[in-house]
């Protein structure tokens, strides 16, 4: 099983990772605002993550880490 993590304090909420995820399990957390005033990305179903790292490759700020 893959482990995905986000540096929520650095995420600018651009949403590129959301559109890149083939499993549609990455979303912007509308209930959280980080220090920069953005809704950070999060994984909504970690068990469904296949570890493809498409989200991490699309992230312009390198806030996503995927470990297999």
Q: How far apart are CA 17 and CA 33, in angstroms?
A: 17
pLDDT value for 1: 80
What integer best gives the mean pLDDT of the chain?
A: 96
**For the chain, what are the domain ranges?**
3-67
pLDDT reading at 68 higher than 90: no
pLDDT per residue as tens digits for the range 8-52: 999 999 999 999 999 999 999 999 999 999 999 999 999 999 999
Q: What is the pTM of this model?
A: 0.91
Q: Per-residue confidence at 7, pLDDT binned at 50, 70, 90?
A: very high
The domain 3-67 having CATH identifier 3.30.360.10: the answer here is no
């Amino acid at each position: 099983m893959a482990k995905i993590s986000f540096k929520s304090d650095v995420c600018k909420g651009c949403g590129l990772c959301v559109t890149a995820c083939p499993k549609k399990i990455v979303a912007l957390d509308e209930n959280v605002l980080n220090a920069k005033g953005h809704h950070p990305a999060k994984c909504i179903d970690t068990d469904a993550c296949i570890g493809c790292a498409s989200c991490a490759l699309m992230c312009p700020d390198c806030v996503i880490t995927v470990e297999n």
